[in-house]
Amino acid sequence: MSNSQMLTEKYRPNKLDEIIGQNEIVRRLKRYVKNRNVPHLLFSGLSGTGKTTATIAMAKEIYGSEWQSNFLEINASDDRGIDVIRNKVKNYAATKAIGDSNDVQFKIVFLDESDALTPDAQGALRRTMEKYNLSCRFILSCNYLSKIIEPIISRCAVYQFKKIDTQSIMEKCKYIATQEKYTITLEALEAIAYSSDGDLRKAVGTLETSLLTVENNIITIDDIYKVSYIEPQIIQNIIKKALSGEFLASSLLIENLMSNGSSSNEILKQMMSKITDLTINDKMKIDIAVIIGDTSWRTNVTNEEIMLKWMIAKIAKLGSVIR
């Protein structure tokens, strides 16, 4: 494996046709490229689903070798105040496109994580979008569409990026492993797809990290266990033991996961995904889901380990009605 470039960048698609898992969106974006005209766009969806990649690929196809001269990318989670809109964005939007081509008269501003912009900044952005519509087109990406003000949404063509499907993630990771001269087992691919939960960037990151533990250039499920994957059976046992009143055993499983590097967020996320597999009635599944959701919120404001044990205690108390 090359040490000079991360795999997520090395294998990032450069063309719209290379993007996986978003066929309908890609088809529509290619039409914009063909027509040499782009409206304001708003890309919504979870991390690792291709929002940034699609934006950059489209810019490359529109402007060719001059794409960097006509493309400004800003991470709104870093520059989230009104000043960045009034100064940096406004000044860039007011200038004409650069290059010899006469069929594209606009530049592109890409605001990544635009749901992090303050309400005042979004208001200023709306006015900038209106004023400089001829010389600049805006592409916004966000994880949560509900955090974008309605006047901006109404001025954009909105595209919802879905999670990347399991098969596409497995095929992409297998391709990368092969290109890097590694063999990867089917079980390892399934583990990567499961743990990434539709996030292709996370999947490729997991693959890259696992290469550090590989022997004989063969990636197995054990290599995935070591870096990010939590075995589904462990997650199920956490819930089952709590429901059976085995508070200490359930707590120990969580302590072991956290000591091995698993985050509380990852543990809670996978617990939530495994509720439907439990052989309990729907009412109890709902109650457990509420407890996990409440715990997820509370871990943002207090000690994670304490809150996870609080969760186990709540589930154990809930299980007492069926014991």
Does the residue 17 lie in any domain? no
Exposure b/e, 127-154, CB count within 10 A at least 16 = b: ebbeebeeebbbbbbbeeeeebeeebee
pLDDT for res 260: 74
Does the residue 10 lie in any domain? no
75, β-bridge pairs: 112
Q: Are residues 172 and 241 in the same domain?
A: no
pLDDT for res 76: 74
Q: Are residues 181 and 306 in the same domain?
A: no
Our CA dihedral for 23, 27, 28, 30, rounded to 10 degrees, sits at 130
pLDDT digits (tens, 9 = 90+) for 71-108: 999 987 766 668 778 778 888 888 888 876 557 889 99
pLDDT(33) > 90: yes
Average pLDDT over residues 12-25: 96
Does the residue 11 lie in any domain? no
Q: Parallel, antiparallel, or unpaired: how do β-strands 107-112 and 136-142 relate?
A: parallel
CB atoms within 10 A of CB 18: 12
Average pLDDT over residues 36-51: 95
Does the residue 9 lie in any domain? no
Q: Are residues 183 and 241 in the same domain?
A: no
CA distance 85 to 96: 18
Q: Are residues 148 and 177 in the same domain?
A: no
CA distances from 225 to 219, 255, 264 (A): 11, 16, 17
Closest alpha carbon to 163 in 194, 125, 138, 126: 194
pLDDT for res 257: 85
By CB atoms closer than 10 A (0-12, 13-18, 19+), residue 294 is middle
Does the residue 151 lie in any domain? yes
pLDDT for res 79: 65
72, β-bridge pairs: 109
Domain carrying residue 56:
22-161
76: Cα within 13 Å, side-chain hemisphere = 25
| Across 74-78, 187-191, 264-268, 312-316, least confident range | 74-78
Q: How many domains does the chain have?
A: 3
24 token code pair: 């309908």
- Structural contact between residues 236 and 203, judged by C-beta atoms closer than 8 angstroms: no
Does the residue 2 lie in any domain? no
Q: Are residues 141 and 174 in the same domain?
A: no
pLDDT(2) > 80: no
Does the residue 306 lie in any domain? yes
CB atoms within 10 A of CB 180: 18
Average pLDDT over residues 20-47: 96
Confidence of residue 231 (pLDDT cuts 50, 70, 90): confident
Q: Are residues 56 and 122 in the same domain?
A: yes
Last residue of a domain, one of 161, 176, 197: 161
User: What is the identity of the amino acid at 259?
Assistant: S
Q: Are residues 188 and 92 in the same domain?
A: no
Last residue of a domain, one of 178, 212, 227: 227
Q: Are residues 203 and 273 in the same domain?
A: no
pLDDT digits (tens, 9 = 90+) for 253-288: 998 888 777 788 888 988 998 888 888 889 999 999
Maximum mean pLDDT: which of 113-127, 146-160, 232-246, 290-304? 146-160
Average pLDDT over residues 34-63: 95
pLDDT for res 195: 83
Confidence of residue 10 (pLDDT cuts 50, 70, 90): very high
Q: Are residues 116 and 215 in the same domain?
A: no
Q: Are residues 249 and 145 in the same domain?
A: no
Report residue 112: phi and psi, to 5°: -80, 145
Does the residue 15 lie in any domain? no
Indicate which CATH number applies to the domain containing 182.
1.10.8.60
pLDDT for res 322: 60
pLDDT(20) > 70: yes
User: What is the identity of the amino acid at 149?
Assistant: I
Percent of the chain past pLDDT 90, that is, above it, reads 61
Q: Is the pTM of this model over 0.85?
A: no
Q: Are residues 123 and 184 in the same domain?
A: no
Q: Are residues 47 and 146 in the same domain?
A: yes
Q: Mean pLDDT, the chain, as a whole number? A: 89
pLDDT(1) > 60: no
pLDDT(156) > 70: yes
